[in-house]
Amino acid sequence: MSNEQTSEAAAEPRPNRLTAAAGLAALEGLALVAGGGYMLVMGLLGSPDKPEQAEMGGLTLIALALLPLLAARGLLKCRAWSRGPAIITQIMALPVAWTLLRSEGALLIPAGIALAAVAVASLVLLVNPATNRALGIRGPRDA
């Protein structure tokens, strides 16, 4: 590959699909931070049955939020490594969405629908050939 071809590939704009995938991953990360923060505050200030469990659950959600947030940052910077954590996040979100869909809470079912829609849309965006090209990921046929 000549220097001209290399500079042309580096100058290509980020595909909209990649930007959308990064946005959805960031949205999931922010939702985890919000949920974890809520659980943490309620564990500290509220009166849950088990405050320690609420606090630890909140801290766990905040820690788990790092995966999609870092993946979103990597996707925005077109880093190939970021696709793996982003896909893992979406695969982990699908059973959570299924659990929410099977619940009896008035707000949990719409949350499950939204989570499932975001996860499936993100997966479609992340396995798109344009996304792979932008991240420099080659398939088995390209090797």
DSSP string over 15-45: PHHHHHHHHHHHHHHHHHHHHHHHHHHHHHH
Residues 112-138, mean pLDDT to the nearest whole number: 93
CA angle at residue 115 from 113 to 119, to 5 degrees?
120
pTM of the model: 0.84
pLDDT tens, 41-80? 999 998 888 888 989 999 999 999 999 999 999 999 999 9
Percentage with pLDDT > 90 across the chain? 69
pLDDT tens, 19-28? 999 999 999 9
Cα dihedral value 133, 136, 137, 140, nearest 10: 80
Both structure tokens of 83 = 């696709």
- CA 109, CA 136: separation in Å to the nearest integer? 38
CA angle at residue 29 from 116 to 47, to 5 degrees?
95
- CA 58, CA 87: separation in Å to the nearest integer? 23
